[in-house]
Amino acid sequence: MRNPLDLSGKRVIVTGASSGIGRATAVVLGQLGAELVLVARRQDALEETLGMLEGTGHVAACYDLTEVDGIPAWLKGVAAARGVPFDGVVHAAGLSTAIPIRILNRSRMEDLMVLNVYASLALVRGMAAKGVGADAASLVLVSSVSGLAGALGHSVYSASKGALHAMVRSAAKELAPRRMRINCVAPAWVQGPIMDVVQDIQGDGFAKVAERQFLGAISPEDVATSAAYLLSDATRTISGTTLVIDGGWTC
């Protein structure tokens, strides 16, 4: 019996692959046999990620995802250059910024919405195009528990991530005729530079975060393996949902 979690031969795009969750996802997918196109703005950082991957056939494709209108055509070009459609995408690129309501303005709101929401929608549009996304392809968007539970100073960020949860429910129905599926993963606090900064600022107060996230800290690899699960044939009947990876945070 074939292992349904095996990704051998699947061609997958990973955005935000220069660091953090995106880089961890690329490493995990490579270990599972996927052939990857790594996307970020910095070529040097993508080259570092390439050097960490198992398998062959991986390439780096620099692109600034804030250039939203160009995403569908860019994706089509990448697919044409590869000569085959993509079996999946993990959109891990995103912006996380705390903005208290009292200092909100349109520019700050747009910064978050462009990368977190508009780019996601453009990627979905691009993958839905003929010759770009394969039939039965899987799209995975990296969201956050902030889209499900409130946090001080995160009204706009929470709105951007909540929008993804709503969007995948409708997009799942539009993509269903080709058996394409789309889902979110929603982590809570993930180990990395941002978490280190929060811990330094809050000091002993950070213990409250650890207490609420009672199953422990979440690693980028925890999120990566969850994304891999949603890419795999094991989830061929799952679409339009959000997989929460929060160590118990939202309990």
- Asked if 157 is an active-site residue, the reply is yes
Angle between helices 20-31 and 220-231 (to 10 degrees): 50
Q: Distance between CA 227 and CA 33 in Å, rounded?
A: 14
Determine which helix (DSSP H) or strand (DSSP E) holds 87, and give its type and residue range.
Answer: strand 86-91
- Give CA–CA dist 57/33, Å, rounded: 11
User: Judging by beta carbons within 10 Å of its beta carbon (0-12, 13-18, 19+), is residue 32 exposed, middle or buried?
Assistant: buried
Helix 119-128 vs helix 155-175: crossing angle, to nearest 10? 10
Paired tokens of 63: 């692109």
Q: Which of 186, 165, 157 is nearest to 249 (CA)?
A: 186
Given 63, 118, 157, 229, the catalytic residue: 157
The answer to whether 147 and 164 are in contact (CB under 8 A) is: yes
Token output for 44: 């040097």
Site of tokens 């960020």: 157
Whether the Cβ atoms of residue 234 and residue 175 lie closer than 8 Å to each other: no
Q: Report yes or no: 110 and 57 within 8 Å, Cβ to Cβ.
A: no
Q: What whole-number distance in Å separates Cα of residue 228 and Cα of residue 224? A: 6
In single-letter form, the type of residue at position 43 comes to Q
Active site residues: 157
